[in-house]
């Protein structure tokens, strides 16, 4: 049985924001847990995280957001695609949805948005989950990706390219994952993607971390080079109460690589364990 409820739009922070809602306050969900707002990465419209929303929706009232310039949210040649604007969007959307308490879960770019939003200290925010956030910034090593990888794949999808074209960019993905990416990638505004990629190197989210006043969980991929052990140690110094969970078998796109390990890494951080029928795999977890 699906936990998907509906897709909808809200006018918040001066733009139209689109989101997908899963679970809600339905029978079987944990009504004592705060709602979850999930923020995807740089070229991941909300629809591509639907399989995660289906699982989260079994326990939590879950909202997956199309970040501005992606999916069905507003995009335009004049729109501000800065990290500050994206962070303001999240807080305004939570208000528009009438959420008195909520948790933020962000992947990659979405994790950096969550950090910047949490820095503002919204009283409704209860906890933050950072999933493999880029640790690039002023004076730091570059984010280990090529902007042309994004731009070229978006251009192909705008011309109607399908699964086989996407396979060259994501060779380890399943047929279903590639099909979904081919369907939705064209909705990513190239200017938004370029702006966010540039922001990976110009925005200093490390300076934001000491201001975070709510519990924070970092979920780090065991493969790939986005976050290294030294980065985890630095973040633990900046956020002394930081909890850390590692998913050893996964690369940066953690739920794509090890979905069971991804859900297991949350533990009860969101207020209850995530109800997943996927067989559990080993995970390493510690508090730093």
Side-chain-side CA neighbours of residue 186 (13 Å): 10
In which domain, by residue range, is 220 found? Answer: 4-140+203-287
Range name among 23-27, 104-108, 212-216, 225-229 with the lowest pLDDT average: 23-27
The rounded distance, in Å, linking the Cα atoms of 90 and 48 is: 19
Confidence of residue 286 (pLDDT cuts 50, 70, 90): very low
The predicted structure's pLDDT at residue 279: 61
Confidence of residue 27 (pLDDT cuts 50, 70, 90): low
The predicted structure's pLDDT at residue 218: 98
C-alpha angle 194-200-204 in degrees, rounded to nearest 5: 140
Give domain status of residue 156, yes or no: no
Confidence of residue 47 (pLDDT cuts 50, 70, 90): very high
**Are 91 and 119 in contact, with CB atoms under 8 Å apart?**
no
Query: Is residue 46 pLDDT above 50, yes or no?
Result: yes
The predicted structure's pLDDT at residue 287: 35
Confidence of residue 26 (pLDDT cuts 50, 70, 90): low
The rounded distance, in Å, linking the Cα atoms of 151 and 9 is: 27
Query: Is residue 281 pLDDT above 60, yes or no?
Result: no
Average pLDDT score over the chain: 94
The predicted structure's pLDDT at residue 224: 87
Query: Is residue 202 pLDDT above 90, yes or no?
Result: yes
Give domain status of residue 157, yes or no: no
Query: Is residue 283 pLDDT above 80, yes or no?
Result: no
Q: Name the pTM for this structure.
A: 0.95
Give domain status of residue 242, yes or no: yes
Give domain status of residue 173, yes or no: no
In a 3-state reduction of DSSP, which class is residue 149? helix
The predicted structure's pLDDT at residue 32: 82
Number of domains in the chain: 1
- As given in the structure block, the two tokens for residue 55 are 């699982």
The rounded distance, in Å, linking the Cα atoms of 88 and 249 is: 34
Give domain status of residue 174, yes or no: no
Query: Is residue 280 pLDDT above 60, yes or no?
Result: no
Length of the chain: 288
Give domain status of residue 187, yes or no: no
For residue 167, the 8-state DSSP code is H
Q: Tell me the β-bridge partners of 127.
A: 103
Confidence of residue 261 (pLDDT cuts 50, 70, 90): very high
The rounded distance, in Å, linking the Cα atoms of 6 and 46 is: 12
The predicted structure's pLDDT at residue 179: 96
Q: Three-state secondary structure along 168-228?
A: CCCCCCCHHHHHHHHHHHHHCCHHHHHHHHHHHHHCCHHHCHHHCCCCEEEEEECCCCCCC
Query: Average of pLDDT values for 183-211?
Result: 98
69-109: per-residue pLDDT in tens? 999 999 999 999 999 999 999 999 999 999 999 999 999 99
**Are 181 and 156 in contact, with CB atoms under 8 Å apart?**
no
Alpha carbon separation from 41 to 64, 100, 111, 177 (Å, rounded): 11, 25, 8, 15
Give domain status of residue 190, yes or no: no
In a 3-state reduction of DSSP, which class is residue 13? coil
Range name among 17-31, 102-116, 272-286 with the lowest pLDDT average: 272-286
The predicted structure's pLDDT at residue 285: 40
Query: Is residue 282 pLDDT above 50, yes or no?
Result: no
Give domain status of residue 183, yes or no: no
**E strand segments, the chain:** 4-12, 15-22, 36-39, 62-65, 102-107, 125-131, 216-221, 243-247, 284-287
Q: What is the CATH number of the domain that holds 265?
A: 3.40.50.1820
């Amino acid at each position: 049985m699906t936990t998907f409820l509906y897709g909808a739009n809200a006018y918040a922070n001066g733009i139209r924001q689109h989101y997908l809602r899963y679970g809600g306050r339905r029978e079987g969900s944990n009504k004592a847990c705060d709602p979850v707002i999930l923020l995807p990465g740089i070229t991941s419209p909300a629809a591509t995280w639907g399989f995660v929303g289906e699982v989260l929706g079994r326990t939590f009232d879950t909202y997956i957001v199309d970040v501005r310039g992606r999916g069905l949210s507003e995009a335009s040649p004049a729109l501000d695609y800065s990290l500050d604007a994206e962070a303001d969007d999240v807080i305004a959307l939570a208000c528009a949805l009438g959420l008195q308490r909520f948790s933020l879960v962000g992947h990659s770019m979405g994790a950096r948005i969550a950090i910047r939003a949490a820095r503002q200290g919204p009283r409704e925010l209860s906890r933050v989950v950072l999933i493999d956030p880029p640790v690039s910034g002023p004076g730091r090593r570059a984010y280990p990706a090529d902007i042309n990888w994004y731009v070229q794949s978006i251009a192909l999808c705008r011309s109607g390219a399908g699964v086989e074209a996407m396979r060259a960019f994501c060779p380890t993905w399943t047929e279903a994952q590639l099909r979904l990416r081919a369907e939705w990638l064209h909705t990513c505004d190239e200017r938004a993607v370029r702006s966010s990629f540039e922001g990976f190197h110009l925005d200093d989210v490390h300076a934001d971390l000491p201001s975070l006043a709510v519990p924070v969980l970092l979920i780090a991929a065991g493969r790939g080079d986005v976050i290294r052990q030294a980065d985890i140690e630095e973040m633990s110094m900046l956020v002394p109460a930081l909890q850390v969970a590692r998913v050893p078998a996964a690369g940066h796109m953690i739920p794509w690589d090890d979905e069971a390990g991804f859900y297991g890494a949350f533990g009860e951080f969101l207020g209850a364990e995530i109800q997943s029928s996927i067989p559990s795999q080993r995970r390493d977890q510690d508090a730093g």
